[in-house]
Amino acid sequence: MVSGYGLKIKMKRNSSTKKEQQFWAFTFLFFPLMLLAIFVFIPILFSLGISFFNWELMASQQNFLGVNNYIEIFGDKIFYKAMLNTVLYTIGVVPIQTMLALFLAFVMNQKIRGRVFFRTAFYIPAVTSSVVTSIIFVAIYSKEGLLNSILGNFGFAANDWLTNPHTALISIMMLNIWTTSGYFMVSFLAGLQNIPNSLYEAAKLEGASRRQQFWHITVPMVRPVTYFVVVMSLIGCFQVFDQVFVMSDGGPNNATTTMAYYVYQNAFRYFRLGYGAATAIVLAGIIMIVTVIQKKYFPPNPY
């Protein structure tokens, strides 16, 4: 049977190899595509659809509103607060996170003692659940928590970081910077290791100090990675939700209400799925515009 079957395959090989390849290609692609379609593409289209309705989950029928949801969004002052918070958040987090990640990667790339330990230590927050880190930091940020006792040693008055409207957003920003720098540090490490050593040697011969080497060689050469990190960071910042949900519920007084949290509030707390969907579409649109602008004016340009 084996030999006969082998003969059958041999005879088939030439004519149907291409068809066979295509068959297997589609088979393997089918399942992930189906998953993506069910859980990503179709929901996105559905969201777009319901954003034109006053879609309430428990209502017996849904009213068509046209673009009224969108008009209402742009008239809601909390929407603007959320946008402002998100922009501030992004402007604060992205540059600091990127620079910190690059700096950490640069240090981790040198041959210093215990660097494997430090690399792991920096990376652990990135793989810890954001809910867990948020809960830990609620305790750290509290009025009688760790941060205040450390600062107290330097003579700073205790502050309730999360309920003070001036410090609440910044506190969440700091948490996020700490968490995701480690993740991006790994990306930068990979990029750094792609820089040929001879470039540094040539610069060394020409008299460049370590700092000059960093700015004239390292930074330009990791540009594709920087682009990636900034884009991912931007997108992540625009979508920040977990920490707000766990730590501050958007408060105090909407000081930490971000766009993603605003979507959640309207859709699931106020039972207005249509309005929430419209907000989500607006958020997606903003992210897309920002990414396009970045690609145009700060392209990755690998060398």
Partner 1 sequence: MVKSTLKYLILAFSLALIASCIRDKENTIRFSSWQSSPSEKRLTDSLLHCFSKKYPEYNVKFELIPGNYSEKIQLMLGTHSAPQVFYIKDFVAPSYLRYDVLQPLNEYIDKDTSFDIDDFYPQFLDAFTKNGIIYGIPKDFGCFVLFYNTDMFKAAGINDPPKDWAELEEFSRKLTKDANSDGKIDQYGIVVEPSIDKLMPFVFQNMGSFQDKDGNLTLNTPEFLEALEYYYGLYKKNIATIPTDVSMNNTEEVFGRKRAAMVISGGWFVPQLKDQYTDVNYKVAFLPKGKQMATIAFTVSYSSPKENLLKEESWKLLSYLTGKEGMKVWTSTGIAMPTRKSIAAQLDYINHPEYKYFMGSVDFAKVFQVEYNERWYSITQSAMQAIFYEEADIPQKLKQMEDDMKSLRIKK
Partner 2 sequence: MATIEIKNLQKTYPNNHYAIKGIDVSIQEGEFVVLVGPSGCGKSTLLRMIAGLEDISGGDLFFNEKLMNSVHPKDRNIAMVFQNYALYPHMTVYDNMAFGLKLKKMLKAEIYQRVTDAAETLGLTEYLDRLPKEMSGGQRQRVAIGRAIVRKPDVFLFDEPLSNLDAKLRVQMRTEIKTLHRKLKNTMVYVTHDQIEAMAMGDKIVILKDGVVHQTDSPINLFRHPKNKFVAGFIGSPAMNFVSGEIVKEEGLYFVAQGMKFSIPPPLQVSMERYLGKRVDMGFRPEYVYDKGLEKERRLSTDVEIEILVVENVGSESYNHFRLNGMDTIYSYRSSSSNAHIPGEKLTVGIDLERLHFFDVETEESIL
Positions that interact with partner 2 (CB under 8 A):
196, 198-199, 201-208, 212, 216-217, 220-221, 223, 303
Near partner 1 by CB under 8 A: residue from 39, 64, 268, 298: 268
Q: What is the 3-state secondary structure (H, E, C) of the chain?
A: CHHHHHHHHHHHHHHHHHHHHHHHHHHHHHHHHHHHHHHHHHHHHHHHHHCCEECCCCCCCCEECCCHHHHHHHHCHHHHHHHHHHHHHHHHHHHHHHHHHHHHHHHHHCCCCCHHHHHHHHHHHHHCCHHHHHHHHHHHHCCCCHHHHHHHHCCCCCCCCCCCCCCHHHHHHHHHHHHHHHHHHHHHHHHHHCCCHHHHHHHHHCCCCHHHHHHHHHHHHCHHHHHHHHHHHHHHHHCCCHHHHHHCCCCCCCCCCCHHHHHHHHHHHCCCHHHHHHHHHHHHHHHHHHHHHHHHHCCCCCC
Q: Which of partner 2, partner 1, none lies near 60, with the C-beta cut-off 5 to 8 A by kind?
A: partner 1
Please say which residue, 218 or 265, places its beta carbon nearer to partner 1.
265
Nearer Cβ to partner 2 (225/278): 225
One-letter amino acid at 97 equals Q
Minimum distance between the CB of residue 211 and partner 2, rounded to whole angstroms? 12
Among 165, 220, 285, 302, binds partner 1 (CB under 8 A): 165
Q: Tell me the HSE value of 52 on the side-chain side, using a 13 A CA sphere.
A: 7
User: Whats the size of the chain, residue-wise?
Assistant: 303
**At its nearest, how many Å lie between partner 2 and the CB of residue 205?**
5
160 makes contact with partner 1 (CB under 8 A): yes
Q: Which does 135 bind (CB under 5 to 8 A by kind): partner 2, partner 1, none?
A: none
- Count of residues near partner 1 by CB under 8 A: 29
> Is residue 164 at the binding interface for partner 1, with CB under 8 A as the rule?
yes
How far apart are CB 215 and partner 2 at their closest, in Å?
12
Does 115 bind partner 1 (CB under 8 A)? Our answer is: no
Nearer to partner 2, 222 or 281 (CB): 222
1 near partner 1, rule: CB under 8 A = no
203 or 287: CB nearest partner 2: 203
CB of residue 260 to partner 1, shortest distance in Å: 16
Please, which residue, 102 or 278, has the CB nearer to partner 1?
A: 278
Each residue 220-259 as x (binds partner 1 by CB under 8 A) or -, in order, gives ------------------------------xxxxx-----
Query: Which residues have CB under 8 Å from 62's CB, separation 6+?
Result: 50, 53, 54, 55, 56, 274
Binding site for partner 1 (CB under 8 A): 5, 27, 56-60, 139, 142-145, 160, 162-165, 250-254, 265-266, 268-272
